Amino acid sequence: MPHQNITPESPIGIFDSGIGGLTVVKAVQAALPSEKIIYFGDTARVPYGPKSQVTIRKYALDDTLILMRYQPKMIIVACNTVSALALDVVEKACGDIPVIGVLKAGAELAVGTTRNGRIGVIGTQATVCSNAYAFAINQLDEKKKVFSQACPLFVPLAEEGFIDHPATRLIAGEYLDRITREGVDTLVLGCTHYPILKSVIQETVGNEIRIIDSAEAVAQKSAELLRASGMLNPSPAPAVPHLLVSDLPQKFSSLYQLFMGAEMPDVELVEV
């Protein structure tokens, strides 16, 4: 890889607005246990989804620059909202460091999964309004029909840890009714917070609908890219992620335990 200070031992930088990106951290850890991960959750400014494109692009740049301080060998954008509206901002700030976004991986997986060609996409207001999923899916196959629905309340429910809660069931019923009636056979979780609520979402839409979580697809893509460029970390020892947040590290800590099923390692407070 061209960058001077980058070696196979360099970390992988991953970011999201809050805890949602931990779903991606978990998948990357499972696929690449020796890789050092630096995760930044912008807990001071979550949620990104209801904000304007100008603001999201500004946040995307700030988040990338925070991770670039650690000289990562790759950046994973574990946020669909940033992947939809500001991937170019991240790529520009990274120079020759490779950048992988969750959105394209989710679109590819959905196209490969659907049998009847009808794909549902749920995401934040910004992601749905950008039409980025429909565009990415139709770039791969223009015959696929895409039905989208913004589910803005899912992000605070996930941030609250309301994994199995009547409020989540009620809101899921409200949001998912129309999309289910469109006859989709595949539903993309187009926001990295949503896999945290996956069991309620699956229960609401029924077991016939296949749910797509792009975290695993992104982890596989990252592994392939590192392998192809000879940048896999050769260490046999499993690495512990280093976590950065912009606010409330204690709250992040309890949610980390809930989602990752492990004690949270050190967490550092950074200013944005």
**Site residues for ligand DGL per CB under 6 A:** 16-17, 20, 46-49, 79-81, 124, 127, 155, 191-193
**Min dist. Cβ of residue 213 to ligand DGL (A):** 11
Q: Structure tokens of 36?
A: 């050092």
Nearer to ligand DGL by Cβ, of 76 and 179: the residue is: 76
**Beta pairing, strands 12-16 & 242-245:** unpaired
- Phi, psi dihedrals of residue 6, rounded to the nearest 5°: -90, 130
For residues 7 and 174, which CB has a smaller minimum distance to ligand DGL in the complex? Answer: 174
Catalytic residues: 79, 191
Choose among 37, 19, 40: nearest CA to 255: 19
DSSP secondary structure, 3-41, as one string: -TT--TTSPEEEEESSSTTHHHHHHHHHH-TTS-EEEEE
Min dist. Cβ of residue 116 to ligand DGL (A):
26
CB 25 within 8 A of CB 192: no
Q: How far is the CB of 55 from ligand DGL (least distance, A)?
A: 11
Could you give the CA distance from residue 54 to residue 86 in angstroms, rounded to a whole number? Answer: 9
- Positive or negative, the CA dihedral 58, 63, 65, 68 is negative
Query: Minimum CB separation from ligand DGL for residue 192, in Å?
Result: 4
